[in-house]
Amino acid sequence: MMEAKAVARHIRISPSKVRQVINIIRGKDVDEALNLLRFTPKGASPVVAKVLQSAVANAENNYDMDVDALYVAECYVDDGPTLQRIRPRARGMATRIRKRTSHITIILREKEG
């Protein structure tokens, strides 16, 4: 079974926020997934849409797959490296600020039949 994938690494959005968007498109047809992303009011939507379009381009150009028969077989988000910053607090203390990053992966497959 042929599959095409695209990965975006070191995206400066928290993985938990990206997962909310990724869960919407899992198992959907590509055109339906792109429409859902276009009208989802989340900051991660444009980034996920770009990764999805990249996966479609990979499927079409590298593997000669039929674009109309593609669906989102798998999609997941992993934690990237966390940038650690410090915020001054009362009485000379400091609190750590974690600026999280994400690695987004989308895998497409062709429908059978």
In tens digits, the chain (113 residues) has pLDDT values of 789 999 999 999 999 999 999 999 999 999 999 999 999 999 999 999 999 999 999 999 999 999 999 999 999 999 999 999 999 999 999 999 999 999 999 999 999 86
Q: Is 53 left (phi over 0), alpha (psi -120 to 50) or beta?
A: alpha
Q: Rounded to an integer, what distance in angstroms lies between the CA atom of residue 99 and that of residue 24?
A: 24
Q: Find out whether 74 and 107 touch, Cβ atoms under 8 Å.
A: yes
Q: Rounded to an integer, what distance in angstroms lies between the CA atom of residue 90 and that of residue 24?
A: 42
For 18, the token pair is: 């990206």
